[in-house]
Structure 1
Amino acid sequence: MDTAETNVNTLKPKKRTIIRLIVGKNYYKIRRYLKWFLGSQKLAKQCMGASMPYVYFLHRTPLLRKLKDVDMELQYNKIINLKIAVKRVNNIVIYPGETFSYWRAIGNPTRSKGYVEGMVLFCGTYKKGIGGGLCQLSNLIYWMTIHTPLTVVERYRHSFDVFPDSNRTQPFGSGATCVYNYRDLVIRNDTSTPFQLVIEVGDEYLIGEWRCKDKPLYTYKVYEADHKMRSEFWGGYSRHNILYRKKYDIEGFEIDDEFITENHALMMYSPFIEGK
């Protein structure tokens, strides 16, 4: 059976009361705290001042985008938030057997730590929220990670496709949404070499690298397949795809073609433009 068909009904918007939202959010937060403090994972905590010698993958994303009906002040505030968060994750090292938790490393983005109101995606639209905009950092880290041999243990896709593609250079669904602390991005090092996360907030771009101690043995090419946009019977639109990656050895020969993930999201705009 088509997996997109089976998932679309779960994407259909559900109306929940404020009490239900608050109780549910607190339940998942408490469960995450218990996992952090009582779990058996060995979490990555050490930062290294000097950069490791080899760049495994590098990527950059623009800090400012013109989004329909979105105040640019929220984008400038996002940069403030990114600079604070980046200080917590820059140069962190994941040694073999260790696990990196995005939220455990950054902590709760509160006003007392200097975070300001940025854009937060919520139930198919956006609103102002303290620490808004940090999804750009989690998106960047996830995209870089799937170009390395590191293992993505936990990642959440965006349930809503809020804005139309604008100069998109990556496949749909190649990011990772983040909500403190229960929608986390968790990465484990199952290799035999340490990896170092290097992040910089530049003048125009958020720049990231995964560096490593030993010379990389593989390269990866991520691509999408089975991309679909559908008009659903209940009146909305949905978008679907599957991400794969080709794996190459140091001589450039393809040695594997691996499944990464599948994505299903509700579209908050019409994908079909009527002709004149």
Structure 2
Amino acid sequence: MARKKLLSQYHPVLYFLSVWEKRIRRYIWWKYNKETYASHKQKDKLPFRIKKHQSVLIRKLGDADLVLQYNKVENLKIAIQEINSILIKPAETFSFCNLVGIPTKRKGYKLGMELTFGEPRAGIGGGLCQISNLLHWLVIHSPLTVTERYHHSFDPFPDYNRVLPFGSGATVFFNYRDYCFKNNTNATFQINLWLSEKCLEGELRCSEEFDFAYHVEEREHEFVKLNNQFYRKNEIWRNKIAKFKSGKILETELVTKNFARVVYTPDTYREVTLADLTEEQKAKV
């Protein structure tokens, strides 16, 4: 089934206008909505760690230009300064784009790899999704509530030392594809980010210690082939576990279902027809 082009894909000017129309809408939303956005930082770390994670900075990604990956590291350094040590107080909302702002050459951002219309390409500030991916993984291990999250509609590269389940991240594109979560608890949370020699590292800390934790897992993963096109699907689930009762499961929750186009040939796959897909999956074909 051929995918129809968006109007903005026919000419660079149309794409530019489409992007800025969406950005202006977001600026208006920020100005007039009633959300209180996290903006205060604290150098001292909150006492209790909820979750820590790290992701490798430079990866073997097919024919991806290594220069763009090294540029990405420089982009991460700039964005981290805007997020590191941020406090998310009760009733506050964390907005990635609101905090980081628009990536520009004037701020020091370089050309990094970004994914647009199913293709990897160079873009100013490319690679910042590595931060939003890490943040989402931290957040879904906490009682914070994700209020806005997007993920790429296609899978561009075969797995190479993948640690997290496919589709467990969050993509951002200033400012209309944002990553947001809200603190609906009575505790205060804190995000800390830093770069080690080989990794982007981060942790989520809290002012209080909870008597529960979360375990996130992947289910129903497989590659399928439909009309000479490959797709990847899975489900992300999490269990809420009682920390001091031998890991007793208190709740089980479906976090998300993923179904994405694959732009490489997987080693194993299953042939399917449209009749084998759900209505939600058909809408992504």
TM-score of the superposition, structure 2-length normalised?
0.89
Aligned equivalent of 1:14: 5
1:265 counterpart residue number: 260
Percentage of matched positions with identical amino acids: 41
Task: After superposing the two structures, state which structure 1 stretch, 66-75 or 131-140, moved more.
Answer: 66-75
| Per-residue deviation, 1:24 | 2.5
Q: Which runs of 4+ in 1 moved over 4 A?
A: none
Partner Cα distance (1:245, 1:12) in 2: 33
| Residue 20 of structure 1: how far off its partner (Å) | 4.2
Name which of 148, 152, 166 aligns with 1:154.
148
Query: Unaligned stretches of 5+ in structure 2?
Result: 270-285
Q: Distance in 2 between matches of 1:188 and 1:112?
A: 31
**SS class of match (1:173):** coil
The 5-angstrom pairing of residues 1-276 of structure 1 reads: 12=3, 14=5, 16-18=9-11, 19-233=13-227, 235-251=228-244, 252-272=247-267
SS in 1 for 2:191: strand
Letter in 1 for 2:68: L
Q: Secondary structure of 2:36's match? A: coil
Q: In structure 2, what is the Cα distance between the partners aligned to 1:185 and 1:217?
A: 27
Structure 1 gaps, min length 5: 1-8
Deviation at 1:249, TM superposition (A): 1.4
Q: Give the TM-score normalised by the residue count of structure 1.
A: 0.92
CA-to-aligned-CA distance 1:230-269 (integer Å, 9 cap, x gap): 1122x31111112110110121211010111111211010
1:54–1:216 contact (8 Å) kept in structure 2: no
Q: Deviations over 1:123-176 (max 9, x none)?
A: 222111111110100100011110111000000011110000111111110110
CA RMSD of aligned residues (A): 1.6
Which residue identity does 2:170 align to in structure 1? A
Q: 1:157–1:263: 8 Å Cα contact kept in structure 2?
A: no
More divergent stretch after superposition (92-101 vs 259-268): 259-268
Whether the aligned pair in 1 keeps the contact of 2:119 and 2:156 (CA below 8 Å) is: yes
Match of 2:273 in 1: none
